[in-house]
A and B are shown apart, each in its own frame.
Chain A
Amino acid sequence: MDFLRPTTWAEALAAKADRPEAVPIQGGTDVMVELNFDLHRPAALLDLNPVAELAEWTSGGDGRLRVGAGVPYVRLITELGNRLPGLAQAARTVGSPQIRNRGTVGGNLGAASPAGDSHPPLLAGDAVIEVESAARGVRMIPAAEFYLGVKRSALEPDELIRAFWMSPAGGPQYFSKVGTRNAMVIAVCSFAIALHPDERRVGTGIGSAAPTPRRALAAEEFLAAELDWEARLDPAVLARFGELAAQAASPIDDVRGTADYRRHAIGVMARRTLTWAWNEFRSGHFERRAG
């Protein structure tokens, strides 16, 4: 096995072009588990820790945030919690403090596990993933097109994940996750919601209840058509939203839960998160906090 240590982004891209089979390692919270248990022995590890720019985030000219793939969860919580509240909530449920000190959204995207906690809020918040290769340059991939299958993504073998782009929240965002305790839990299933009041639209993300993280598209379209943004939440609309969200899932039975349970829980979490978000929106609390 080789251990590659590029110190700049250009060097990292060159190394990945030269050794497409190299496995990138950032926080190591997934990659090292595979190595420790000898589940996977890659020909090379590509250490991205020394590439300092990956651990930075900036606010772009169009107001969107560009968050480097190497920014650990703990910094999403402390530095971006107000601007990306849905993602920060999800980040708080990742592993333990030790894991959040090392784990990154970039790693979550690279692993592309359907259970990754950051995926649902990325989907609900219309995130775009910036990937790059030495040969073809930058590609911007909407999160909804990034996940292709269980642990499979749109990332090509010679590409690395540079950053994700996301607008600061324009409305309340919530994340909910089912697990056996509040810490150290891989999601049985999870759900994220993001209100986009300016567009009279609601974004969603379903986690761990399909081969990939996915949006509940029919549920989003239903809300775009039926939601009265000037009124209290209609219980019939809420109930139908939960049903449509549950129908968007295609879960399996596994050690963490049954398909039936997951489908049920997605419906419950969809109703719950919409209620939380709606109450915050109607109370005017979101505007006050953001202002």
Chain B
Amino acid sequence: MRVTFTVNGRRETADDVWEGESLLYVLRERVGLPGSKNACEQGECGSCTVHLDGTPVCACLVAAGQAEGREVRTVEGLADGDRLDPVQEAFVECGAVQCGFCTPGLVVQAHDLIERVAQPSDAEIREALAGNLCRCTGYEKILDAVRLAAARKAAAS
């Protein structure tokens, strides 16, 4: 089947999509956006987190056909040209990236948190990131990065 949807502001059409295929597969293999990572394929790890109509979801659990006519924003759509999104910048500065596999999902999820909650508490950060697994960092530097991004956002507004 054919699926047409908007990705990072651009209209995309994917053809010959299998009806049981996930949005994640369409993004990675058909639209050429490999930023969202494919790991657990069961909503456990958060590596494929994208915005669907503004709401963070696991792209592996969205059927491709369910994206028809909708708006998707992936990690590739966060930066403004060469200028990184403040969450991405904070991840770099805080050393929150090691192997990098979980990073795209964490960045998208953290981005959503600080959009919704101006100054998140540690409990709120942990709750928001509970569905994103990282096997390298031990999470401390990720928490540092989210705190930094939130503080900068609060200071700027």
Contacts and interface: CB of A to CB of B under 8 A. Distances in A.
Do A and B form a real pair?
Answer: yes
Nearest to A38: B20
Interface in B101-157: 109, 127-128, 130-132
Contact of A25 (B44, B66, B130): B66
B42 A36 contact: yes
Interface string A86-107: 0000000001111101100000
Contacts of B57: 98, 101-102
Interface stretch (A1-9, A119-127, A224-232, A269-277): A1-9
B61 interface: yes
Contact of A99 (B65, B68, B131): B131
A47 B58 CA distance: 17
Chain A interface SS verdict (over half) = mixed
B19 A28 contact: no
A138 interface: no
Contacts of B58: 29, 98-99, 102
B75 interface: no
A36 B131 contact: no
Interface residues of A, number: 29
Interface string B35-66: 00000011110100100000111101111011
A2 B130 contact: no
Nearest to B112: A97
Nearest to B68: A5
B109 A5 contact: no
B60 A32 contact: yes
A96 B18 contact: no
Interface of A: 1-3, 5, 25, 27-29, 31-33, 35-37, 41, 44-45, 47, 49, 95-99, 101-102, 182-184
6 contacts: A32-B43, A36-B60, A37-B42, A45-B20, A102-B62, A183-B127
Interface of B: 1, 18-20, 22, 41-44, 46, 49, 55-58, 60-63, 65-66, 68, 109, 127-128, 130-132
Given A97-B130, A102-B61, 14 more contacts: A5-B65, A25-B63, A31-B63, A33-B61, A35-B20, A36-B41, A96-B43, A97-B127, A98-B58, A98-B109, A99-B43, A101-B55, A183-B131, A184-B131
